[in-house]
Structure 1
Amino acid sequence: MRTETAKTNLVLVTGPSGAGRSTAINVLEDLGFETIDNLPLRLIPRLLEGPAERPLALGFDVRNRDFSTNGFLALIEELGTRPDAGLSVLYLDCRAEVLLRRFSETRRRHPLAPAESPEAGVARELNLLAAIRDRADTLIDTSDLNVHELRAEIERGFAADRLDRLAVSVQSFSYKRGLPPSIDMVFDCRFLANPYWQPHLRGLDGRDPAVADYVAGDPRFAGFFDRVLDLTRLLLPAYAEEGKAHLSIAFGCTGGQHRSVAVSERLAKALAEDGQQVSIRHRELLGRAIADESRV
């Protein structure tokens, strides 16, 4: 029987087929985890009876011999009560249309629809995993990420020196494209003065000092930002105490280019100066960069 000092950092990795689970497992192995893919669920408690020499990452998907939604949720509940397992559930998410494109590009058959169209398999799998997705401690949407960006996201959250720290993700987005998935806190920046209407700023984005200064010059900016920062500082310790592994904060504006980017950059910098583990992502700027690369 293990003692408290023999605690294993255990990460359960799952998500729909094609979302990047195998890549995540490989990254965790590179980070020093012992990794095992598609081990039957019933064997997991027995596995933890062995020596805890390294953190452990276990991959699961619908191809597991005894996989079921209820069985996986029951496993999470069981492991969550064990003093010898510091449990975290990592879910690799992806939009249905992107999963379909990936299956089309690789010409693979979907494991839940081997004799049908991939659309049927994707729909079944997303429905099957919905409750598990809701239970995840860390959710990474890979829809707009390449392999290198996914690696960076996992390294930020699961590097050995960060396993016991809350990871904070700050994002900017455009309301025209809708809310990003799996966001914990959302703030609307559309009330701030819009640099788009300034010809000399229109072609720039919120990372440029001129744009950032223009946004910060709005008389309402300081009160808004200070309250958001104070609220975030208040909530972070509470989330950490509850065992949450990841907190995502998003700022939106009309185009996702100026105001939301400037505020996201400023908040990420302030939290990093506080010593928080912070990553930042600008959804619309990333989309433009990918589009520009495809035209080269």
Structure 2
Amino acid sequence: MPTNSFELSPIVAGLWRIAEWQLSVPERVRWIEQALELGITSFDHADIYGDYRAEALFGEALRASPGLRSRMQLVTKCGIRLRSSQKPYRITYYDTSAAYVRTQVEQSLRNLYTEQLDLVLIHRPDYLMDAAPLAEIFATLTREGKVAHWGVSNHTTSQFALLHQHHPLITNQLELSPLQMGALDDGTLDQAQQLGLRPMVWSPLAGGRLFTGDDEQAQRVRAEMSAIASRHGISLTTLAFAWVLRHPSRPYPITGTRRIEGLTDAVAALKVQLDAEDWYAIWTASKGHSVP
């Protein structure tokens, strides 16, 4: 078991779309306060979110209400050089060089108006990653007090193991939902359990396809989940989060909504006891066939 005792809130608020929410600074402050009141104390960012603007929008709220920072955990990511109007690279590409990671961490500190980031993730696997110098900058930034903990996102088991042997990682942020089940079979969730490290889960609602998808898989899953949700007296959102939470790796699912009702539905999943038959009924509907 790991010696690291760092934990996130059971439900994590994702800020990928905060730039689209068009909230004023006081409205952003109130949104954060409402999330905290629900027990959501962890906030997931990335340097590239909102065309490189999302972190600063959140940071403006923290600057306006400094007392909020001590009540939360700030998570962010780096490692993608996103070609955009803000960064006119020739192409989008990955960069996990020590110099780039330092630059982005220090920019995130400024954006988020904080002296330390609780958790920084390497956003995507970089095929040119040199694990030893990357681990060295992890250690250096930790010694400097700029980053408390490190992890990765969207990494395979071997990619995780390579970096983990050079510097301790505390999570792998993965995609998992009733419509996207690759993590159940690719070994990443098994590795999390083996190491005793809780994964983070992005897009537990499949980017909204769970509600609006008109493909056969989405329709099958929606019909099955609607029946189960009705029996439990809960929403589809709550059931989707409960399905993710049922996994023994003890995932931290990430929301992606500005709607307080959506946050409330996600938190409600913490009280749902989903049995194995219901869990596998959703798996079966998603796959379109029974278990082997």
User: TM-score if structure 2 supplies the norm length?
Assistant: 0.31
Where relative contact order (Cα < 8 A, 6+ residues apart) is larger, the structure is: 1
Q: Decide which structure has the larger Cα Rg and report it.
A: 1
User: TM-score if structure 1 supplies the norm length?
Assistant: 0.30
